[in-house]
Chains A and B, each alone.
Chain A
């Protein structure tokens, strides 16, 4: 197996992440022409929003258009246009005189809204900082025992400016960097001791029930067959164990307070 893939798989397994989750944090590019969507939104709010709601999710009189089969089946405004131009008098919807371009804009606005609702990878978090920064500071210096590894004037200096709050919150829970750039960071290490007593340590590259592999101090890839759980002896050192242990006991309020505190470390 390609060394790079093997490393990525190991890191992925350690982090519990898949690379695609990392990439998913990037908002998806708009599927429909943003200029047309913006014009369509303006026209929709002005002409249609009174009945269908300004977000097209339904109002007092008109149905939710994001779940409408007419809209879902529409292609480039053709189906939507028929309803706009003719109206639905039997349901109390008047007809609207609109140009073809206006109809295409409204269709693009509706299709982009549906795409955004359906594409969970494009969802944006809101203002997540709701915690009490002073309670977070007290936790940091007290019950959280964070100072045993971290310092707000050292490794965490300016961390509130470095990351978005949501990233900061996720990283305080589990700081492991992942993805291709992680290959430059020694994260999890292993010591393998053979029956003859020779011990080799270094960044862990792979481990399963049958093989363990690491990069030794010379930078060389070394692998060992595992004959049993104890031959050779394998000790994995996970520097993030304190975080793994904390996750089992954290309350959501403690997490929110800590985030609120870390955000202030600009």
Chain B
């Protein structure tokens, strides 16, 4: 194995001293790279590549499979502050599930799972290096990948460190602590690099801690600015939406899904998580800003430019962290700069991204039963009768939402926004009757699901143009669209599928050894368009024969 790694290194086509990732690549939709979590800053996950198209997609063939071997395996570069992992024992599948969208730069793929990062040859699927982080703990639920600046890679760990590696060798450059794992913070996002800012968020629902987004210096790891997702003291903007300082300082609002960026407006867009305590509103009466909000931050200062709150005073764990997709197009006949989000609470939102003004709010599915309607600002009005009670309330959606973190896609050719959804119900039982409840404060019992679907939503009307329903399976699943008039997504039943994005017909499928677990991506390499997707513990690369 070692010989193979050294041999591969010798063949790497990188001149020493040259920057692997030219920063210019990040500012335009790339075709020969996938240099950031969503492929580009827009969050559209639409590729202009069209070598693979409707006429030849049935000839896609498997190029290679890369199966991860997570942990302190032989050959791994080991770092981290925690104790040495216990030998033997069953492997933890959470450490091997690929939720990251790998970056592809100069023929190399870079990605991460909790505590692990890899570089893999994008031509062959051969491992170049593997870095393993010895953890101090934290919830190991997933990792959405790495960010890149020049030759440097950045990823976050479940025990809340930002780790920087040299992309050429996998050797660690530095690590800095971004949050306290003992306060139940855990970190899953892929850092997003904008200019010389490494934007880093975090997660954690269990102990009522405040959320934040930090900007770090890519060279040193030093913090440049920190934006708290709640006001810190009475009198600060948003503090009028909390009963007291104590509640806002324990108010949640995690920043766990990478945001998007408009270079012209210089604004970074981000959805924030649910307020705490999670499943009851007692002790935090009010709208609880800026939890469950879409926020626009100045990328150089971290100052809030505007906000819109899709779930005011959320009591069901429906964070608004889902990808904020930037759309440039017509609305009511006029060209506009817009932002769309398919929200966990079941509604599709369209905003003017210059000022946060709501343009459209539309329910995505029929089952949602928690809102009394839409107010003049485009915000759903929560029905207080659907907040958890001791005897239970039946609510759709459950806490995991109509949709969730798996990335949606916007195809400018069809004008349609694609998202995986499911229609389900839970009973929410209040378990903590203290005037100051803590943690979740209620128990949730999943009742049933009416199945999952892939929706094609007309962004200008919010109406569903087509819907592919699965009797079983489906649900929130990552999506890619391309100029080859193709939409790629999983079905939650072990397949990768290609759809006609205009009408939902299935054009091709391949059976994988597990469900699609990340957002599919595509890039050109050696004149071939590659399609790469993660399913469970393996990456699969497809190309035309």
Select one of A1, A57, A126, A255 contacting B436, CB under 8 A: A57
Interface residue? A142 (CB, 8 A): no
Contact B438 A66 (CB under 8 A): yes
Beta-carbon nearest neighbor of B183 in chain A: A72
Kindly supply a per-residue 1/0 record for chain B positions 454-485, scoring 1 wherever the CB is within 8 Å of any chain A CB and 0 otherwise.
Answer: 00000000000000001111000000000000
Task: Evaluate whether A126 and B433 lie within 8 angstroms (CB atoms) in the complex, with A166-B445, A170-B427, A255-B394 already known.
Answer: yes
A-B contact pairs, 30 of them (CB 8 A): A1-B494, A13-B493, A15-B449, A16-B447, A16-B449, A55-B434, A64-B438, A67-B250, A67-B438, A117-B432, A119-B206, A123-B432, A125-B390, A126-B433, A128-B429, A166-B445, A169-B427, A170-B427, A173-B447, A173-B448, A207-B471, A208-B472, A208-B495, A209-B495, A209-B509, A244-B450, A247-B394, A248-B367, A252-B391, A256-B391
Interface residue? B28 (CB, 8 A): no
Contact B439 A131 (CB under 8 A): no
Interface residue? B58 (CB, 8 A): no
Cβ contacts under 8 Å, A67 to chain B: 207-208, 250, 438
Interface residue? A218 (CB, 8 A): no
Kindly supply a per-residue 1/0 record for chain A positions 98-119, scoring 1 wherever the CB is within 8 Å of any chain B CB and 0 otherwise.
Answer: 0000000000000000100111
Interface residue? B180 (CB, 8 A): yes
Cβ contacts under 8 Å, A9 to chain B: 493
Closest CB in chain A relative to B432 CB, distance in Å: 8
Closest CB in chain B relative to A54 CB, distance in Å: 11
Select one of B250, B436, B447 contacting A170, CB under 8 A: B447
CB-contacts of B232-258 with A (<8 A): 250
Interface residue? A69 (CB, 8 A): yes
Interface residue? A149 (CB, 8 A): no
Contact A173 B391 (CB under 8 A): no
Contact A120 B392 (CB under 8 A): no
Closest CB in chain A relative to B490 CB, distance in Å: 11
Beta-carbon nearest neighbor of A170 in chain B: B445
Interface residue? B303 (CB, 8 A): no
Beta-carbon nearest neighbor of A74 in chain B: B182
Cβ contacts under 8 Å, B493 to chain A: 9, 13, 208
Q: Which 10 pairs, one residue from A and one from B, show the smallest C-beta to C-beta distance?
A: A16-B449, A13-B472, A118-B206, A117-B439, A174-B448, A120-B440, A130-B391, A208-B493, A123-B443, A123-B431
How many residues in A have their beta carbons less than 8 Å from beta carbons of B? 52
Closest CB in chain A relative to B437 CB, distance in Å: 9
Interface residue? B65 (CB, 8 A): no
Interface residue? B319 (CB, 8 A): no
Interface residue? B442 (CB, 8 A): yes
Cβ contacts under 8 Å, A248 to chain B: 367
Interface residues of B (CB under 8 A from A): 180, 182-184, 206-208, 250, 367, 385, 389-394, 424-425, 427, 429-434, 436, 438-440, 442-450, 470-473, 491-495, 497, 506, 509
Contact B436 A123 (CB under 8 A): no
Interface residue? A62 (CB, 8 A): no
Taking A118-B184, A125-B443, A209-B491 as known contacts, 6 extra A-B pairs with beta carbons closer than 8 A to each other, sorted by chain A number, are A13-B492, A67-B208, A67-B438, A170-B447, A173-B425, A252-B393
Cβ contacts under 8 Å, B471 to chain A: 207, 236
Task: Evaluate whether A16 and B446 lie within 8 angstroms (CB atoms) in the complex, with A67-B250, A210-B495 already known.
Answer: yes
Closest CB in chain B relative to A263 CB, distance in Å: 12
Select one of B424, B442, B509 contacting A123, CB under 8 A: B442
Contact B180 A16 (CB under 8 A): no
Interface residues of A (CB under 8 A from B): 1, 9-10, 13-17, 21, 55, 57-58, 64, 66-67, 69, 72-73, 114, 117-120, 123-131, 166, 169-170, 173-174, 176, 207-210, 236, 243-244, 247-248, 250, 252, 255-256, 259
Cβ contacts under 8 Å, B207 to chain A: 66-67, 72, 114, 117-118
Beta-carbon nearest neighbor of A66 in chain B: B438
Closest CB in chain A relative to B66 CB, distance in Å: 21
Closest CB in chain B relative to A195 CB, distance in Å: 20
Closest CB in chain A relative to B390 CB, distance in Å: 5
Contact A128 B433 (CB under 8 A): no
Cβ contacts under 8 Å, B206 to chain A: 117-120
Beta-carbon nearest neighbor of B513 in chain A: A1
Cβ contacts under 8 Å, A243 to chain B: 448
Closest CB in chain B relative to A69 CB, distance in Å: 7
Cβ contacts under 8 Å, A208 to chain B: 470, 472-473, 491, 493-495
Closest CB in chain A relative to B141 CB, distance in Å: 12
Whole-angstrom CA separation of A67 from B183 in the bound complex = 8
Task: Evaluate whether A14 and B394 lie within 8 angstroms (CB atoms) in the complex, with A72-B180, A118-B206 already known.
Answer: no
Cβ contacts under 8 Å, B389 to chain A: 252
Closest CB in chain B relative to A193 CB, distance in Å: 17
Closest CB in chain B relative to A228 CB, distance in Å: 10
Whole-angstrom CA separation of A209 from B505 in the bound complex = 11
